[in-house]
């Protein structure tokens, strides 16, 4: 354990209690962020299935809300047992996370701008999924969460599938549904893993 909180510099003398508290805090925050972004992807997928008042997209959105709420509940429940493994954070991990997330945000806007400027807006979901997937590779090390490598690999695979669908000439709605649901499932899977296994 090498850090006491996201706002303070690493401290090799952190107590076991401090390490456990930080581990729990990071995993709870990870559960929240992953499940909320899964919800965003699911809503994007639902938008490709019809208008907001149609039964299918409405059902998808309701299911997405339930899955997200359940993940957050599991991650924040007071009866959860302590994590079986305490994170071991690298030096300046919080700064590294900030850099990775900033690069991700810029890349997402670049994907949207380039896709729209080139007249290929149907590429946007796959492009964003690729950016999000790739950014989990360094986060796996910075947060000391090995499962983020699986998150990264699976999101990248979803992005590749999206590009294949675009190349095959499928509609933008179909691409949005496949990439949106695929990304949502991967992120929910990761959030539930964090919530239950740590």
State the angle between helix axes of 55-76 and 172-196 in degrees (0 to 180), rounded to the nearest 10. 20
40 pLDDT band, cuts 50/70/90, is: very high
Q: What is the mean pLDDT of the chain?
A: 87
Q: Enter the pTM of the model.
A: 0.86
The pLDDT assigned to 56 comes to 83
Q: Are 136 and 149 in contact (CB under 8 A)?
A: yes
Among residues 19, 68, 21, 17, which one has the least CA distance to residue 42? 68
123 pLDDT band, cuts 50/70/90, is: very high
Q: Distance between CA 79 and CA 76 in Å, rounded?
A: 9
Q: Are 175 and 158 in contact (CB under 8 A)?
A: no
The pLDDT assigned to 48 comes to 84
E strand or H helix that includes residue 180? helix 172-196
| First-to-last C-alpha distance (Å) of the chain | 16
Q: Distance between CA 101 and CA 184 in Å, rounded?
A: 19
Report pLDDT digits (tens) over 80-116.
Answer: 666 666 778 888 899 999 999 999 999 999 999 999 9
The pLDDT assigned to 7 comes to 44
Q: Distance between CA 109 and CA 103 in Å, rounded?
A: 10
Q: Distance between CA 41 and CA 38 in Å, rounded?
A: 5
Neighbours of 10 (CB within 10 A): 15
**pLDDT above 50: residue 17:** yes
The residues, ordered by sequence, that sit 6+ positions from 192 with a Cβ below 8 Å of its Cβ are: 71, 74
Q: Distance between CA 75 and CA 196 in Å, rounded?
A: 7
Report pLDDT digits (tens) over 144-193.
Answer: 888 899 999 999 999 999 999 999 999 999 999 999 999 999 999 999 99
The pLDDT assigned to 140 comes to 93
Rounded to a whole number of angstroms, the CA Rg of the chain reads 18
């Amino acid at each position: 354990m090498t850090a006491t909180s996201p706002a303070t510099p690493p401290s090799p003398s952190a107590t076991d209690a401090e390490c456990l508290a930080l581990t729990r805090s990071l995993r709870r925050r990870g559960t929240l962020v992953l499940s909320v972004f899964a919800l965003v992807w699911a809503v994007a997928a639902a938008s490709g299935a019809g208008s907001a008042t149609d039964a299918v997209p409405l059902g998808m959105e309701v299911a997405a809300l339930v899955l997200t709420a359940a993940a957050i509940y599991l991650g924040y429940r007071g009866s959860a047992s302590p994590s079986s493994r305490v994170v071991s954070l690298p030096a300046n991990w919080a700064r590294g996370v900030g850099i990775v997330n900033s690069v991700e945000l810029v890349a997402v806007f670049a994907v949207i701008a380039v896709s729209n400027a080139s007249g290929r807006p149907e590429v946007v979901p796959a492009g964003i999924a690729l950016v999000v997937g790739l950014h989990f590779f360094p986060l796996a090390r910075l947060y000391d969460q090995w499962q983020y490598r699986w998150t990264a690999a699976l999101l990248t695979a979803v992005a590749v599938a999206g590009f294949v669908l675009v190349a095959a000439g499928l509609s933008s709605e179909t691409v949005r549904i496949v990439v949106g649901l695929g990304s949502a499932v991967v992120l929910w899977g990761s959030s539930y893993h964090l919530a239950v296994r740590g």
